[in-house]
Amino acid sequence: MRPARFERRLRALWCAVGFSIALVAAASGSADDSAPFPPVLPAVPLQFPRDHGSHSAFRIEWWYVTGWLRTHGQSEALGFQITLFRVRPQIDARNPSLFTPRQILLGHCAIADPAHGRLRQAQRIERAALALAGADSGDLRVWMEHWLLVREPGASDRFRVQVSTDECGLDLTLSATAPPLPNGAAGYSRKGPAAESASEYYSEPHLSVSGSVQRAGQRDEVTGEAWLDHEWASEYLDPNAVGWDWVGLNLDDGAALMAFVIRDRQGHRYWASATLRQRDGQVQVFEPDEVDFEPQRRWRSPRSGVLYPVGQRLRVGSLTLELEPLLDDQEFDARATAGALYWEGAVTAGSAGPMRGRGYMELTGYESPLQLP
pLDDT value, residue 91: 75
What amino acid is encoded at 251 in this protein? L
In sequence order, which residues have a C-beta less than 8 Å from that of residue 296 and are 6 or more positions away? Answer: 309, 311, 312, 313, 322
In sequence order, which residues have a C-beta less than 8 Å from that of residue 268 and are 6 or more positions away? Answer: none
In sequence order, which residues have a C-beta less than 8 Å from that of residue 1 and are 6 or more positions away? Answer: none
Q: Which residues pair with 163 in a beta bridge?
A: 147, 170
Nearest to 181 by CA among 48, 40, 66: 48
pLDDT value, residue 93: 64
Q: Report the predicted TM-score, pTM, of the whole model to 2 decimal places.
A: 0.89
In sequence order, which residues have a C-beta less than 8 Å from that of residue 305 and are 6 or more positions away? Answer: none
**What is the mean predicted confidence (pLDDT) over 266-276?**
96
Please indicate whether residue 43 or residue 173 has the higher confidence score (pLDDT): 173
pLDDT tens for each residue of 75-111: 899 999 999 999 999 876 676 666 677 899 999 999 9
In sequence order, which residues have a C-beta less than 8 Å from that of residue 246 and are 6 or more positions away? Answer: 258, 259, 260, 361, 362
Percent of the chain residues topping a pLDDT of 70:
88
Residues 81 and 345: beta-carbon distance below 8 Å: no
The class level of CATH for 3-364 reads: mainly beta
Q: Is the pLDDT of residue 8 over 70?
A: no
Query: What Å distances lie between residue 294 and 51, 251, 298, 312, CA to CA?
Result: 34, 20, 11, 6
Q: Is the pLDDT of residue 309 over 90?
A: yes
pLDDT value, residue 20: 44
**334: confidence class by pLDDT, cuts 50, 70, 90:** very high
**What is the mean predicted confidence (pLDDT) over 218-223?**
94
Q: Is the pLDDT of residue 26 over 50?
A: no
**What is the mean predicted confidence (pLDDT) over 219-227?**
97
Query: What Å distances lie between residue 272 and 184, 261, 365, CA to CA?
Result: 10, 4, 15
> DSSP class of residue 168?
-
pLDDT value, residue 92: 67
**132: confidence class by pLDDT, cuts 50, 70, 90:** confident
In sequence order, which residues have a C-beta less than 8 Å from that of residue 196 and are 6 or more positions away? Answer: 39, 40, 234, 235
Query: What Å distances lie between residue 17 and 98, 99, 134, 195, CA to CA?
Result: 11, 8, 17, 36
